[in-house]
Amino acid sequence: MNHTQILIIGGGTAGITVAAQLRKKDKKLQITILEPSEKHYYQPAWTLVGAGAFRFEDTERKEAKYIPEGVKWIKDKATDVVPFDNLVKTEFSGDITYDYLVLAPGLVMAPELLPGLSEALKKDNVCSNYIDPKKTWGILQNFKGGNAIFTQPTTPIKCGGAPQKIMYMAEEHFRNIKVREKTNVIFATPGTVIFGVPEFAKTLNKIIAERDIILKTYYAPIKIDSEKQEITFKYVNSNIQECAKNLKPAIGEELNGDTEIKIKYDMLHIAPPQQAPDFVRNSAVSLQEGPNKGWVDVDINTLRHKRFPNIFSLGDVAALPTAKTGAAIRKQAPIVSGNLYHLIKNGELDQEIYEGYSSCPLVTGYSKMVLAEFKYNNIRDSDPLISKFVDTTKEQYSMWLLKKYGLPFMYWDLMLKGRA
């Protein structure tokens, strides 16, 4: 049986960053990463790939290049976590026992949770940047007009702003290829607003109005009929009278009963439902009830497990009331590595806490971006240095340059090496 002092499940953004930071603190720590993938992807650029503004090949690198020196890599996947025994089961490598565990496996796409989506994704007019951004770009290039629908599920998803980023870029692309006048650009969201932080929502609502984008709030997708090219939404506002009142005949909305709306699409971009991996959801490390069911049960400030004191979790799999983004991990990783190191050395946690910081670089066109930074309770939390020079609540060319060039550099050369 394998034993390690610190076992990190997941060699993505969170796992690699924590491992690199721990190695910087103490090279004598015995660290093992459990990760099956040979490739590592910079997924934040997939929005740009889907709009033809970034090469997919440039988002892909070899995992081996980023495993920190001195860290053992077991190229396998976890199949079960047994926290009562400090044990993790794997597919091929047998059981691994640990003194401390860091859960950072990310989340998984679950298109099967939305009836008809798996079949629809095989069609040449349905796409998702979350799964195949190159296909999205192909569909945008061949689009001839009609209903272009962009939507997202009711489950938590990676980067909640991503479904609307591709919509803004697609809208500009449709203008560039002269099909915008015969296109209805529709953004349908189960949410109540376009964005949860008021300062950024104000700018986005203005953009939506100026570009004649049709915003549908309280629209939760419940099924797709890819043969009929039709998507059905459930209107999730308790005031169901509003449902019929807000229908737009121009886009062919059709009421089905009191709360279901059918719309035909000529192209559909959708974020699939997403959830924690099975080995997390089926383990005692996850919450078994309530709105965060299936996600890892951590303290939202220390990122330490609430019931198993030698376990920490960060990134997409942690039950945290903030956006699941790489930017959030950049602030979470120092808390996890600091707390874990302090616990090993002193038997107690460090004093630093995580306040929910996350960031959504909201690309609103081919040369514009709104840098939305916020923390718990949707409170704006913009970088004080950047804010001295730039109003990040407005569309900025400088922020577009940050997105396209600055953030990938920060990711590959600083963050994954434990320097940022």
Asked whether the beta carbons of 312 and 103 are under 8 A apart, the reply is yes
pLDDT score, position 385: 83
Give the mean model confidence (pLDDT) for residues 333-355: 97
- Rounded CA-CA distance 418/22 in Å is 8
Model confidence at 384, pLDDT cuts 50, 70, 90, reads confident
Give the mean model confidence (pLDDT) for residues 47-71: 98
Is residue 159 annotated as part of the catalytic site, yes or no?
Answer: yes
H or E segment to which residue 47 belongs: helix 46-50
Equal fold, 2-107+276-357 vs 110-273: yes
Instruction: Give the pLDDT confidence of 190-249 residue by residue, as tens digits.
Output: 999 999 999 999 999 999 999 999 999 999 999 999 999 999 999 999 888 888 888 988
CATH fold of 110-273 reads FAD/NAD(P)-binding domain (3.50.50)
Q: What is the dihedral of CA 264, 266, 272, 273, to 10 degrees?
A: -10
Is residue 127 annotated as part of the catalytic site, yes or no?
Answer: no
Average pLDDT, the chain: 96
Instruction: Give the pLDDT confidence of 348-371 residue by residue, as tens digits.
Output: 999 999 999 999 999 999 999 999
Catalytic residue (choose from 120, 213, 360, 415) = 360
Enumerate long-range contacts of 128-132, CB under 8 Å, 24 or more apart. Answer: 128/269, 128/270, 128/271, 128/272, 129/46, 129/47, 129/49, 129/50, 129/162, 129/166, 129/269, 129/271, 130/46, 130/157, 130/158, 130/162, 130/271, 130/272, 130/274, 131/272
Q: 109 pairs with which residues across the strands? A: 274
Catalytic residue (choose from 159, 224, 314, 323) = 159
pLDDT score, position 245: 87
CATH fold of 2-107+276-357 reads FAD/NAD(P)-binding domain (3.50.50)
Matching residue, tokens 């808390």:
335
Instruction: Give the pLDDT confidence of 255-296 residue by residue, as tens digits.
Output: 998 899 999 999 999 999 999 999 999 999 999 999 999 999
Domain layout of the chain by residue ranges: 2-107+276-357, 110-273
